[in-house]
Amino acid sequence: ARSLLNNPQVLFMDEPTKSLDYAIAKDLRNFIKERLVREQKRTVVFITHNLFEAEDLAERIAIMYQGQIRVCGALSELCHKINSPLATIEEIYERVTKEDIS
C-alpha cells in the first residue's frame, strides 16, 4: 500500500499474494488488473512463482531459470517459441527450463 502513496507509474510487486488466503489474493489480483493497469494505466512488474497468477495477470511473461531470463513475451509468443500453439504456462515453463530455447 505504501508504494501507491506517491502515485508511481511503474510498480514492482514481489510475491504480493504470498501467504494471503484465496479470497484476499483474488481481490488483490483484481485490483491490480482492473484498477492499476486498466483504469490508471500503470505498469506493474509482478514477480511470482505462481504460474496461475502470471498467466492471469500478465500481458507479457518472462520466465527466469538459474538467474537468467529464458523466454519473454506474450503467452501466444511463448507458445510459438516452443512450437506448441495451445501450450499452458506450465508446459512452457517445463520446456524452457529443460532445453535451450532461442
Per-residue confidence in pLDDT tens, the chain, 102 aa: 677 778 899 999 999 999 999 999 999 999 999 999 999 999 999 999 998 899 899 999 999 999 999 999 999 999 999 999 999 999 999 999 986 655
d(CA 22, CA 80): 32
List, in order, residues 6 or more apart from 45 with CB less than 8 Å away: 10, 11, 12, 13
In whole angstroms, give the CA distance from residue 98 to residue 38. Answer: 35
C-alpha–C-alpha distance, residues 73 and 63, integer Å: 9
pLDDT value of residue 101: 57
Q: Where are the domains of the chain?
A: 1-59, 60-102
Annotation: CATH topology of 1-59: Rossmann fold (3.40.50)
pTM: 0.78
Cell of 16: 504480493
